[in-house]
Amino acid sequence: MGAQTMVFLSQADLVHEALIEKGQVFATRPPENSTRNTLSTSKFHAFRKVRVTAMDKLVDRSKTEAAATGGALDEKTIEKIDDMMKKVLMTIHPRLDDFLPLLRPFFLKQCKQAVEVRQHQITLLAPLIEWRRAVINNPGTKPIFEFSYLDTLFDLKVEGRKDPPTTPEIVTLCSEFLNGGTDTTSTAIEWAIAMFIESPSIQLRLYNEIKSVVGDKKIDETYVNKMPYLNAFVKELLRKHPPSYILLTHSITEPVKLAGYDIPAGTHVEIYLPGIIEDPKIWSNPDRFDPDRFLAGGETTDITVVTGVKMIPFVVGRRICPGLGMALLHVSLMIARMVQEFE
């Protein structure tokens, strides 16, 4: 596309060949990184209280249209950050000049806007980063949270450099982390609500399952794995309506053959999910939204793609999303709480 060589994959067997059989060529990942450390099992469970508070806050805001109190940041600051993150997502949307640089003079206004958004991003997040840095460097200060993703970035070793990331670089890393985890989750929740509107019987069945498992208690993450229909609903949601129909770009590190074709190094590889999730050879009635397909005796799938490529909302192979476990829990918990609280 433009000056960049690109390859689109839309068949399960080609995706398996590229990302599983030849994953080292199609994607690389450092042996250890901050995101994986933050999303490790021990760190993940450490934030259970935060998830409970966040869910309570979501329900309260939905009921009263007012801000709930508590936490390290006031509601006004949170809203500013949320608005800024949305602007960043809109600004970094691919433009024509990204593929045809010779058209750059026609996009000077958009380039100027991107610089302004970037400056606003740094102005808003840098003070919070420096506040956390000061807390960590002061042994006498007891932080609100003992661990955060940000803590892993202060002394991060960057290949080819002696110095750790600068504050603007940390701003970028935090922004990517927030966008990657929030935009995709909110998209899944929106699709879930749309499915309830389209099929109220599904919502009622979920409600009855929650009632039978939890009773009158407030649902929390300890109950999620005890509800097969909820888990089947989330799987079908991610199959039929993944957060994005085109996965994040992969890049080839060296010349390689794929399906018999020679692919040069530096080629961008895009994966188009509808070609897989709508394939009648893989799924029965692929156009139908049917959570029952994942219940006992129905179709099977493995989101981590150990047994084969059927649905890959979290990518696969070396570039599989490190937040897979967190995303599944968050989506399941948020859907369950919303169904429990609202008709």
Q: Known binding site: residues?
A: 321
Give the DSSP letter string of 286-332: TTS--GGGGSTTS----TT-SS--S--TT--GGG--TTHHHHHHHHH
291: burial class by Cβ within 10 Å (0-12, 13-18, 19+)? buried
Q: Are strands 268-271 and 6-9 parallel, antiparallel or unpaired?
A: parallel
Cβ within 8 Å of residue 82, ≥6 positions away:
none
Using alpha carbons, select from 149, 211, 154 the residue that is nearest to residue 175.
Answer: 149
Rounded distance, CA 135 to CA 140, Å?
A: 9
Rounded distance, CA 66 to CA 229, Å?
A: 32
Q: CA 31, 125, 71, 66 torsion: positive or negative? A: negative
Amino acid type, 14:
L
H helical segments located in the chain = 12-16, 23-26, 34-38, 41-46, 48-64, 75-91, 96-99, 108-137, 167-198, 200-214, 228-240, 274-277, 324-341
Amino acid type, 318:
R
- Residue 151 has phi, psi (to 5 degrees) of -60, -30
Amino acid type, 7:
V
Report the residue count for the chain: 343
Annotated binding-site positions for heme: 321
